[in-house]
Amino acid sequence: MTELLKNYVAGQWVAGGGEGVTLSDPITGEALVRVSSQGLDLNHAFGFAREQGGTALRAMTYAQRAASLAGIVKLLQAKRDDYYAIATANSGTTRNDSAVDIDGGIFTLSYYAKLGASLGDVHALRDGNAASLSKDQSFSVQHVFTATRGVALFINAFNFPSWGLWEKAAPALLSGVPVIIKPATATAWLTQRMVADVVDAGILPPGALSVICGSSAGLLDQIQAFDVVSFTGSAETAATLRGHPAFVEHGARLNVEADSLNSAILCSDATPDTPAFELFIKEVVREMTVKSGQKCTAIRRAFVPEASLEAVLDALKAKLAKIAVGNPRNETVRMGSLVSREQYENVLAGIAALREEAVLAYDGSAAPLIDADATIAACIAPHLFVVNDPDSATLLHDVEVFGPVATVAPYRVTNAANGALPEAHAVALARRGQGSLVASIYSNDDAHLGKLALELADSHGRVHAISPAVQQSQTGHGNVMPMSLHGGPGRAGGGEELGGLRALGFYHRRSAVQASSAAIDALTQTTHLPAA
């Protein structure tokens, strides 16, 4: 029988009961390891994290906690090869795709280590300047941020077992809040291994970082008023979470990142003979195929001017035909597998649903898989659809297929003589997604991109505006950078993560201190919160 991975709770490694759930190689079907959270004393685990981990973290200054993050970065960098091997075996990713998760997580940690060092040896943060409450200036108010005296529970998705951990844990630990991570079961191995390495190195105080692998049953029942929960997953599950007494009755904080029908818009000036057109084509293909399309930020809908529809389809099909799919251990493979056969079936169901109103323009499954058995491997080739009437379509704007699948749809170019943006129809179509994590726009005119970005900002957490001027420096539609906000309104969950120092707000409580000016001046253990 395969190894049972242990959980780290209350400062100890504890094996869950029963046979557990087996994690498998999505290419070969080989059993890898097992996970179980059955029988854990969750009350003790959460209590220990709050009392021991939280107390120890809050006793440290921001600069000291930042130094701990820097120590984790150094440790993880030294063990990257081990993590890459686990990612290939458990997630079926190519080396480049594994880097998005592993190196992306390490980079985010490094970024917050540097940010934290700039906050200095203090224990609280001032929010703005003091304001006088009296005519003689003797009585004032100063707003301050202090770390919440609770635990941060992270319920994560299967697609980013490394980055999903560290992009949440970095600002939480820097804030002085202990973390309990519940990784998605299917890919929990990498998360558990990284936590184990950090624990073994003794970088953090006991109780500061815990991991629970297996079922999430009972976790929310442990949440108290000053705890915070961050969830990444489906909108359906998020709706269930929101109704839990922890949030409805106790007022605990909940951050949600859910479904997202992200868009890419080819602007009216980006005709097939221009650089912006090529940038658009390259990005759509990249977002369809990186991590086999298993990214919350991937492009699902591509809106193009009616006159450019055929040229766009021809260019996309030509590039997609070059994508070799199969076993990521083969160096010729450009795209590996989905994380499991369960996800494989889900993507097939999504493709079948889109067929009800969309025309399949490209199906890469005609080519054989490389070094993989199609009856075992969770590999799905790229599928490109076209919807000629996006106004009448519903599934296009409602169904997110979490795999290498995208749909192209034409929009009507508006006569700019009346003051409207030429892409007004495309903006309206993008908003049909009911709130998204990101939209990207492509034009040869930077000034025009700025105007269009503002039109999209109200319904998107991030707008990625690309012109030839930034073709070498742009970070990519789907790449989440720690300096930028990650989250989105409406359907995307309404949550916010990252965004530089803005991320610390979720883990702090803002309070107003009303006192004499002399007392406020004596708040020596605080520093002003710098610009994010």
Give per-residue pLDDT as tens, 87-98: 999 999 999 999
> Position of tokens 């009585």?
139
Average pLDDT over residues 328-344: 97
pLDDT at residue 415 in the model = 83
pLDDT in tens, 75-116: 999 999 999 999 999 999 999 999 999 999 999 999 999 999
* Structural domains of the chain ordered from first start: 4-258+496-526 (3.40.605.10), 263-490 (3.40.309.10)
Worst-scoring range by mean pLDDT, 110-119, 158-167, 410-419?
Answer: 410-419
Worst-scoring range by mean pLDDT, 232-241, 311-320, 469-478?
Answer: 232-241
Average pLDDT across the chain, whole number: 96
Question: Sorting pLDDT into bands at 50, 70 and 90, what band is 52?
Answer: very high
Strand partners, 105: none
CB-CB contact of 276 with 284 (8 Å): no
- 167, 213, 257, 287: the catalytic one is 257
Amino acid type, 401: V
Task: Please say if 257 is a catalytic residue.
Answer: yes
Reference 489, options 316, 284, 258; nearest CA is 258
CB-CB contact of 213 with 184 (8 Å): no
CB-CB contact of 329 with 372 (8 Å): no
Question: Sorting pLDDT into bands at 50, 70 and 90, what band is 528?
Answer: low
Distance CA 105, CA 76 (A): 10
Q: Is the pLDDT of residue 532 over 60?
A: no
Q: Is the pLDDT of residue 531 over 60?
A: no
What does 226-287 look like in DSSP terms, one character per residue?
A: T-EEEEES-HHHHHHHHTSHHHHTS--EEEEE-----EEEE-TT--TTSHHHHHHHHHHHHH
Q: Is the pLDDT of residue 329 over 70?
A: yes
Average pLDDT over residues 216-223: 96
pLDDT at residue 253 in the model = 98
- 296, 423, 496, 497: the catalytic one is 296
Token pair of 384, please? 């490109």
Question: Sorting pLDDT into bands at 50, 70 and 90, what band is 10?
Answer: very high
pLDDT in tens, 482-518: 999 999 999 999 999 999 999 999 999 999 999 998 8
- Cα–Cα distances in Å, from 172 out to 162, 188, 227? 16, 20, 12
Q: What share of the chain is helix, strand, coil (3-state, %, to 5)?
A: 40, 25, 35
Reference 492, options 257, 297, 293; nearest CA is 257
Residue 530, Cβ density class (10 Å: 0-12 exposed, 13-18 middle, ≥19 buried): exposed
Q: What are phi and psi of 413, to 5 degrees?
A: -80, 125
Token pair of 378, please? 């969770």
User: Which 3 state secondary structure label does DSSP give 278?
Assistant: helix
Q: Is the pLDDT of residue 417 over 90?
A: no
Backbone CA torsion sign across 407, 412, 413, 417: negative
Backbone CA torsion sign across 259, 448, 499, 246: negative
